[in-house]
Each structure stands twice: as C-alpha cells, then as structure tokens.
Amino acid sequence: MSLTELIAGVEAHEKTLTVFNAADAVTQELRDQFADRNLTVTSETTASGKPGEFVTLSDDGEVLTATSLDRLRSTLADGETVIGLSESPYRPLLEYLDETMFTSWSTDRMVAASREIEDRAWRVGDGELYAGFQYLSTLRGELPAYERLGSKNLDVHAYATPDEDPPSHLGFTLHIERAEEIEQSWFVVFDGNGKDANKCALLAEEREPRSFYGFWTYDPDTVDWIIDYLDSEYGYVEQ
C-alpha cells in the first residue's frame, strides 16, 4: 500500500453526523460547516422530542459518540475545525473526526495544520518528525523552521523532489526523491517519542493546483504505518 492508497482508503470510509430534534436551518448550517469533509449530515426527530437537540457521529452504522448540539456549536464557534488538531477539553465529537477525508484545502490551511503538528513535536522535544515538502524549492522557504526543530532532541526527516539544487541545511536529514507520490504528497508525521497519546499525522495529496485532499489522524497504528512506510520505501540515507 502506498500513501496515495492510504488516502483513498480513508476517502472511501465515510462517516455520518446525525442531528436530532433541530430545525432544518441548523442541519444546513452544519452541512455548510463540514462542506469540505467526507461526512454526510442528516437529520432525525425522536418520537418524544427528548432529550432535546443533540448529534451523533456514526461509522458504518455504529454510533461512535454523541454530544449536545449546543456543545458542538460552541466548539465550532471556537474554530476547532479550522485545523482539527487543536487540543481542547471540549472535543467529545470532534476527536472522532480524525481519519475523515477533507477536500479542497488551500495551502494556507495545510500550513496551519502542519504548524500544529510541528508545535507538538517542539513541545515534546524528543522523537521523530517526518515532513514531505513536495519540492526542494518549497523546503527552502521552511529551512528556518526545520533547522529550529532540528536544534531540539528531534530526529527530523524532510522529503522533496528536486526542482532546484539542494539547499544548505543543518539539523535534519534531507531525502531527495524522484518519486511521484513525494512530488504530489504533503505530510507531517510525529511519532510522539514512542508515546501513543502524542502521535499525530497529516497526510494529503495535491489533486488540483494548490488544492489538497487528505486527512489528519491521532491513531497510533496509522501514524506508525506511515513512518514504517517512509522508512522502508525511502530509507534514512541523506542524499
């Protein structure tokens, strides 16, 4: 399985958000809110109208979690889904939206999501961080950030296809790869220094010019798979 095939597998696995006992306008509001996600938003009404307005998230008919509509809307108002990785005590439903496909993310949103993973790695200060920049010219603009990350006790690996001469760099391993999936993929993966609770990843592919399709995940098995794949497919040797 390749990175592209992993993304396709997530894309084929659609979740359902069901809104109970709410006005049609509220359901439409949530459809608009999650318009860039591979998520079906439906509405239902309980026979008694109780316990008021709430939502459930299900996967293949299995309910994963439920929360009040007020709590969900409050969380959305705080911008929790702008990136999706923000740490918050009010994420009873949103934490289950990892490994749900996002669509048509701009470069700015991808950068913001990447920064959250990079910040987690910086705060932990140990472990391994993997980042795919698509092109060496893109990496050049990120050199200060990645040399700073490399100044911590982090083993940092950067991947890019050659569209210019490799930049001089310190503190991280550079993998120059002439592989189509490296050219098309944007990823940032942190191994959490071996602690499952700290593991996270962002993986997307550019399907249209500067428009990215992919997912983020906190699932340790998925994070481990991505790292194992990069290690086995592209190795550790700096080029």
Q: Quick one: average pLDDT of 197-203?
A: 94
Query: What confidence score (pLDDT) does residue 88 get?
Result: 46
Q: Quick one: average pLDDT of 206-219?
A: 93
- pLDDT-derived band of residue 236, with 50, 70 and 90 as boundaries? low
What pLDDT digit, counting tens, does each position of 23-63 carry? 999 999 999 988 888 899 999 999 888 889 999 999 888 88
Share of the chain above pLDDT 90, in %: 66
- Burial-class residue 172 by CB neighbours within 10 Å (0-12, 13-18, 19+): buried
Assigned architecture for domain 3-97: 3-Layer(aba) Sandwich (3.40)
Q: Quick one: average pLDDT of 227-233?
A: 96
Given a cut of 70, is residue 86 above it in pLDDT? no
What pLDDT digit, counting tens, does each position of 162-184 carry? 999 999 999 999 999 999 999 99
Q: Quick one: average pLDDT of 182-195?
A: 97
Query: What confidence score (pLDDT) does residue 89 get?
Result: 41
Query: What confidence score (pLDDT) does residue 140 get?
Result: 96
- Burial-class residue 18 by CB neighbours within 10 Å (0-12, 13-18, 19+): middle
The superfamily CATH assigns to domain 102-234 is Endonuclease Chain A (3.30.870.10)
Domain with CATH 3.30.870.10 in the chain: 102-234
Domain with CATH 3.40.30 in the chain: 3-97
Tell me which residue of 75, 76, 138 sits closest to 111, measured CA to CA: 138
Mean pLDDT, the chain, rounded, equals 89
Give the Å distances, CA to CA, from 37 to 4, 83, 84, 166.
Answer: 18, 12, 11, 36
What is the distance between the alpha carbons of residues 3 and 28, in angstroms, rounded to a whole number? Answer: 33
